[in-house]
Amino acid sequence: MRHIKEKAVAPLGAVLCVCACLVGCERRETAPSSPAPAPKVQPVATPKEPSPLSIEARAKDKDYQAMLKGSVAAQRRTLAEREKIESRLAVLRERARKALPEGATDAQVLEELENNPRKYPAWRELSAAMKANVAEEEKLKAAAQSALRQRILREKTAGRAQGAPTVEK
């Protein structure tokens, strides 16, 4: 029994000693006796970052809120259409995968779908619809970004980016 304890405890003790040395033997930096006072910095709105007051003014503007809601609704519609298209494409991919031998790659499945339009008549139509949907979503995103960029530029020229909380159409 004593022999088993020596064989089990001795290596464990050595490992613990090595770990303790590695963890506890780091050189600690000495703290300065009197810390220097931190400089007081006033937050400044950079050109990339609008001031909080202009953000509040934008959040209260009904035209801006309507533009955001319209943009979100349009993006949700395209996403719902895409989900329908993706589900139908997934069904076609599974049918093609079952027609191929076991272990077929995605490239082989795609080749099967492209080369057999009689067997999978909806594939090309759905692929084209998917590409159109992605293009429409990109167009909506670009339009929303452009509208927001124009709004920020208008605010900047009107002086609201510096903190004057006026609401202008």
Residue 9 placed within a domain: no
Confidence of residue 39 (pLDDT cuts 50, 70, 90): low
Give the Cα-Cα-Cα angle 67, 68, 71 (nearest 5 degrees): 85
Distance, CA of 105 to CA of 120 (rounded, Å): 18
Residue 149 placed within a domain: yes
pLDDT reported for residue 34: 56
pLDDT reported for residue 7: 64
Residue 35 placed within a domain: no
Confidence of residue 168 (pLDDT cuts 50, 70, 90): very low
Residue 121 placed within a domain: yes
Residue 87 placed within a domain: yes
Note down the domain range covering 124.
Answer: 52-162
Residue 129, Cβ neighbours under 10 Å: how many?
17
Q: State pTM to two decimals.
A: 0.56
Residue 6 placed within a domain: no
Residue 137 placed within a domain: yes
State residue 47 phi and psi, 5-degree precision. Answer: -60, -30
Residue 5 placed within a domain: no
Q: Which range is least confidently modeled, 50-59, 93-102, 160-169?
A: 160-169
Structural domain count of the chain: 1
